[in-house]
């Protein structure tokens, strides 16, 4: 599922990079905003910093979580929350990404929350991605492209995607729960917050036209959402081993 081996870094170094980027992304946040709160290990540090600023600096914001995990984290930090339906248009979404290319196009969905993440991003006036430099790629596709599919449709969708995707298309597996364990053990599908399954599609770094591929995959009956975020990202806050870089899309909504 992962791209080829990146330069070796230990776990502490990677976490330090994620924390730097997550905190730096908060420079886009100001009082009065309605914020989309993303899902993942990097944007978690952004949410922690927002919680700190609410507690220590009287920051006033309202968040819209993109997953149940994010909702639980934000509630524990005292961040006021609304559903997307209640909040309406959002000022900004801050989220992570599994990959981003030079045109600020994204692959997302490694955490399984791509459908809610996309709905929230589409309802926002701007989107900022937080990442470490391992997520920067010249061409999308080294990270397997996730799709959310209906639980009754996944086999048919998989078979149709086999004619589109140059590599394997596989059903994402979840963590075994004690009550689900049988002998012999059977694979347990990963279940999204929406009650769907995830298919991971191994395109390799071949996605030169993500907008066309997105529309092609969405035309397959049974596909709920595809983890290509096209024309949504306006800036990337990226931590490198030596500094934090903020890259703003030329002609984007934050330019």
The residues carrying an active-site annotation are 117
Percent of the chain surpassing pLDDT 70: 91
What confidence category does residue 183 fall into, taking pLDDT thresholds of 50, 70 and 90?
Answer: low
Q: What are the tens digits of pLDDT across the range 6-44?
A: 455 667 777 888 898 999 999 999 999 999 999 988 899
What domains can you pick out in the chain, each with its CATH number? 11-134+229-248 (3.40.50.1360), 145-226 (3.30.70.260)
Q: Number of helices (H) and strands (E), helices first, in the chain?
A: 7, 13
| Mean local confidence (pLDDT), 147-157 | 96
pLDDT of 241 reads 85
Burial 180-208 (b: 16+ CB within 10 A, else e): eeeeeeeeeeeebbeebbbbbbbbebebe
pLDDT of 140 reads 98
Phi-psi region of 231 (alpha: psi -120 to 50; beta: other; left: phi over 0): left
What confidence category does residue 76 fall into, taking pLDDT thresholds of 50, 70 and 90?
Answer: very high
Give this prediction's pTM. 0.90
What confidence category does residue 186 fall into, taking pLDDT thresholds of 50, 70 and 90?
Answer: low
The β-bridge partners of 235 are 128, 248
Q: What are the tens digits of pLDDT across the range 211-248?
A: 999 999 999 999 999 999 999 999 999 988 888 999 99
Tokens 């980027």, located at residue? 21
Please check the confidence at residue 1 and state whether its pLDDT lies above 50. Answer: no
Q: What are the tens digits of pLDDT across the range 57-70?
A: 999 999 999 999 99
Length of the chain (residues): 255
Please check the confidence at residue 179 and state whether its pLDDT lies above 70. Answer: no
Q: What are the tens digits of pLDDT across the range 6-16?
A: 455 667 777 88
pLDDT of 5 reads 42
């Amino acid at each position: 599922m992962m791209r080829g081996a990146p330069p070796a870094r230990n776990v502490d170094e990677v976490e330090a990079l994620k924390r730097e980027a997550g905190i730096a992304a908060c420079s886009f946040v100001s009082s009065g905003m309605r914020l989309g709160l993303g899902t993942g290990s990097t944007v978690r540090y952004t949410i922690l910093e927002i919680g700190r600023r609410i507690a220590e600096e009287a920051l006033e914001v309202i968040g819209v979580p993109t997953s149940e995990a994010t909702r639980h984290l934000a509630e524990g930090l005292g961040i006021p929350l609304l559903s997307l339906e209640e909040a309406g248009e959002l000022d900004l979404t801050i989220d992570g990404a599994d990959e981003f290319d030079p045109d600020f196009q994204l692959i997302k969905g490694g955490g399984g929350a791509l459908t809610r993440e996309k709905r929230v991003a589409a309802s926002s006036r701007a989107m900022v991605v937080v990442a470490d430099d391992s997520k920067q790629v010249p061409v999308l596709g080294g990270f397997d492209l996730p799709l959310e599919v209906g639980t009754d449709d996944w086999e048919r969708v998989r078979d149709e995607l086999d004619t589109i995707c140059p590599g394997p298309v596989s059903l994402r597996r979840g963590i075994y729960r004690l009550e689900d364990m049988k002998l012999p053990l059977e694979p347990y599908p990963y279940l999204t917050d929406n009650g769907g399954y995830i298919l991971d599609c191994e395109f390799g770094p071949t996605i030169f036209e993500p907008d066309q591929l997105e529309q092609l995959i969405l035309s397959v009956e049974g596909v709920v959402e595809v983890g290509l975020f096209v024309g949504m990202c306006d800036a990337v806050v990226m931590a490198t081993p030596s500094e934090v870089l903020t890259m703003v899309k030329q002609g984007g909504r934050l330019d």
